[in-house]
Amino acid sequence: MLVGLGAVAYPRAMVRQTTRLGDRQVDLADWRWLLGALRARFETGSFGAGAEFVAAVGRLAGAADHSPDVDLRAGHVQFTVHSHEVGAVTEREIRLAERISALASDQGLVPRPEQLQVLELALDTPASDTVLSFWAAVLGGAEAGGDVVDPAGGLPPLWFQTTDSTAPDRQRFHLDVTLPPDVADRRIAAAVAAGGRVVDDGHAPAFVVLADPDGNHACICTELGRD
């Protein structure tokens, strides 16, 4: 029996719960792999319906001894599933994602994978070790693997990109928007149609650098091409 794995198919007996899986090994219709985690978004129609759905998912997750991250809003709910112990996606997360999707289908909820996106802030600096503690203090965050993260999960992470430039007028901050691969091309086209331009697509599909009409940069990213 296979476990929701697409590009590479493993028999269930061969996949252990602690085996780290990659984005090319996961094929789940409602879910997308973004920044090392499985993410899904479902339209609920109301906050009450969303709360009931989250409660039912909570019972599923409790039985599986799992703790997905949940963002409940008036008209939708979004889940992020990954192993806190392993720091990756394993068969355990695949099984939970499949059960959440089945429950959503039973309740008539509509999956919206095309609306998934993750925002990161990036600071181009030649001195990340020097400035990291300052930004952790300003954001009330904590250092994690060279990034600044918000323990409460309210702010996007800030990461530091090394640059050799020390020019005082260089661009310093830019946004990284990570999208499902099937959405990224449309987002790039929309940005160009809105007056932007492609600065660098040599690393596509991992990321494409865009500039607005004033020259400010942003990156549209996917999980593809990063390995």
Residues 40 and 96 in one domain: yes
Domain boundary, last residue among 113, 130, 146: 113
Q: Per-residue confidence at 21, pLDDT binned at 50, 70, 90?
A: very low
Any domain includes 157: yes
> Which residues neighbour 113 within 8 Å (Cβ) at sequence distance 6 or greater?
29, 30, 31, 32, 40, 41, 180
Same domain, 100 and 153: no
Check pLDDT > 70 for residue 92: yes
- The residue range of the domain holding 127 is 118-221
Predicted pLDDT at 112: 97
What's the alpha-carbon Rg for the chain, to the nearest Å?
19
- pLDDT for res 227: 65
Rounded to whole angstroms, the Cα distance separating 116 from 184 reads 11
What distances in angstroms separate CA 114 from CA 31, 64, 107, 179, 226, one per listed residue? 10, 28, 20, 8, 21
Asked whether residue 92 falls in the same domain as residue 150, the answer is: no
Flag whether 1 is in a domain: no
Tell which of 79, 97, 113 closes a domain: 113
Q: What is the CATH number of the domain that holds 107?
A: 3.30.1360.20
Of 100 and 87, the structure prediction assigns the larger pLDDT to 100
Q: Is the pLDDT of residue 81 over 80?
A: yes
Which of 113, 128, 162 is at the close of a domain?
A: 113
Domain CATH for 217: 3.10.180.10
Asked if the structure places residue 77 within a domain, the reply is: yes
pLDDT bucket at 45, cuts 50 / 70 / 90: very high
pLDDT band at 18 (very low <50, low <70, confident <90, very high): very low
pLDDT of residue 65: 87
Confidence bin at 147 (pLDDT 50/70/90)? very high
Percent of residues, the chain, with pLDDT higher than 70: 87
